[in-house]
Structure 1
Amino acid sequence: MAKPKIGVIIGSTRPGRFGDKPAEWVAELAKATGEFDVEIIDLRDFPLPFFDEQASPAWAPSQADGAKAWQDKVASLDGYIITAAEYNRSPTGVLKNALDYAYNEWNNKPVAFVGYGGVGGARAVEQLRLISVELQMSPIRNGVHIVWADYAQVASGDKKLSDFAHLNQAAGDMLKQFSWWVKALKTARDNDTATAKAA
């Protein structure tokens, strides 16, 4: 049986971003579990205009250039781990925009968060969990929060994320919980698909 496919989404596109580091770190940890096929998804590869569609993609096809490619990528995955920078106590605009450019493709799939910033991105992650519920996703409880003291040492090159035992522990706990939800929801979606085909 094929492994579930998960995407590690880098939630920032700015030059000099930190997001590559947690994305690469958590992707390697996820691969090491042997439970997933893992792909890093870079929002730079899916440039989208500010959302100005006539309707939500829940109700009508999106017309913007690049929207279909983004929706197809989201649809191809069984779960998501999002790296979340905190800008002014909220997620980045580019990440919120990307979330808004899909709807059905997110439904009934789990999402986990690796936050970073002054309080480990906790305020951005809190908002992202609310957004995820509205998109009919299942945000899991466990996450990783890279606080400023750790962030600064990694950003300067003095340390790597893997050097911090508490971050490795948090990531391990998150991936264990995430794995359960990936499998449970994939089974449920597959059952729904089989039932619909049989009807």
Structure 2
Amino acid sequence: MIKVGIVIGSTRPGRTGETVARWIHDLAVKRDDAEYELVDLKDFALPHLDEELPAALGQYANRHTKAWSDRIAEFDAYVFVTPEYNHSFPGALKDAIDFLFAEWHDKAAAVVGYGVNGGVRAAEHLRQVLGMVKVADVQLSVALPLEEVAAPGEKYDQQASAMLDQLVSWGAALRTIRV
């Protein structure tokens, strides 16, 4: 069974991301195809990238980077929950990705965006960045308009379920090339 991290991509006070991530988590844990865990960027208190050496070397000097590395390395796939800020995803999420390199390789990801237009531009930018760290993003995603984030309806439950189907199959397939 693969392990999927549901990453809350915002650290902003009063954020909606935690609500959205818990909705995805609640749907996911009803399934029997993977182990699902929430991963909150706030718990790691990562500063702006402060490692002297490039992440590709894997020689982390800081305790917070090592803790982040250990947490991310344990997953086979990820659901990134991201708001859209100024037509992109939050800087805190970009920094969190940039802190690491090999930990992301050959894993699968899905994106749940939220915002004025469902966070679609943030999702597109995030997909580009994930590709550079060798994360394969699945085709299906969920785009929640702001008025839907508090209580996504059945339509969004179905979209999320189909997205998770793709994510689990890709995560399992990619696991075989890492093992």
TM-score after normalising by structure 1: 0.86
Contact in 1 for aligned 2:109/2:138 (Cα 8 Å):
yes
Whole-Å separation in 1 of the counterparts to 2:46 and 2:157: 33
Q: What residue in structure 1 maps to residue 79 of structure 2?
A: 81
Give the alignment's Cα RMSD to 1 decimal: 1.2
1:56-135 → structure 2 map (5 Å cutoff): 56-135=54-133
Which residue of structure 2 lines up, in the alignment, with residue 180 of structure 1? 169
Inter-partner Cα distance in structure 1 for 2:14 and 2:67: 26
Q: Cα distance, 1:21 vs. partner?
A: 1.2
CA distance in structure 2 between the aligned counterparts of 1:185 and 1:60, rounded to whole angstroms = 21
SS of structure 2 residue aligned to 1:58: helix
| Conservation of the 8 A alpha-carbon contact between 2:6 and 2:21 | yes
Once the two structures are superposed, residues 157-185 of structure 1 have per-residue CA deviations (whole angstroms, 9 ceiling, x without a partner) of xxx22xx1221121011011111101101
Could you say which residue in structure 1 is the equivalent of 2:147?
Answer: 149
Q: Which runs of 5+ in 2 are unaligned?
A: none
Q: Is the 8 A contact 2:11 2:92 kept in 1?
A: yes
Contact 1:4–1:182 (Cα < 8 Å) also in 2: yes
In 1, the alpha carbon distance for the partners of 2:61 and 2:47 equals 11
User: Helix, strand or coil for the counterpart of 1:175?
Assistant: helix
3-state SS, counterpart of residue 13 of structure 1: coil
CA distance in 2, matches of 1:32, 1:79: 17
Equivalent residue letter for 1:149: E
Is 2:178 the partner of 1:189?
Answer: yes
Does the CA contact (< 8 Å) of 1:48 and 1:65 recur in 2?
no
Tell whether 2:12 aligns with 1:14.
yes
Structure 2 letter corresponding to 1:167: Y
TM superposition score normalised by structure 2: 0.95
CA contact (8 A) 2:8 2:39 kept: yes
Partner in structure 1 of residue 47 of structure 2: 49
What percentage of aligned pairs have identical amino acids? Answer: 37
Unaligned runs of 5+ in 1: 155-159, 191-199
Counterpart contact for 2:58–2:101, Cα < 8 Å: no
Q: How many residue pairs are counted as aligned between the two chains?
A: 179
Higher strand share: 2
> What is the match of residue 138 of structure 1?
136
Q: After the TM superposition, which of the residue ranges 59-68 and 74-83 deviates more from structure 2?
A: 59-68
Higher RCO (C-alpha 8 Å, min separation 6): 2
SS of equivalent to 2:56: coil
For residue 37 of structure 1, what is the aligned residue in structure 2? 35
Cα contact 1:51–1:97 (8 A) shared by 2: yes
3-state SS, counterpart of residue 4 of structure 2: strand
Paired residue type of 1:96: K
Q: 1:87-128 deviations in whole A, cap 9, x for unaligned?
A: 101110111110001110000000111100011010000000
- Aligned-partner Cα distance in 1 for 2:177–2:60: 27
SS state at 2:101 partner: coil
User: Which structure is larger by alpha-carbon Rg, 1 or 2?
Assistant: 1
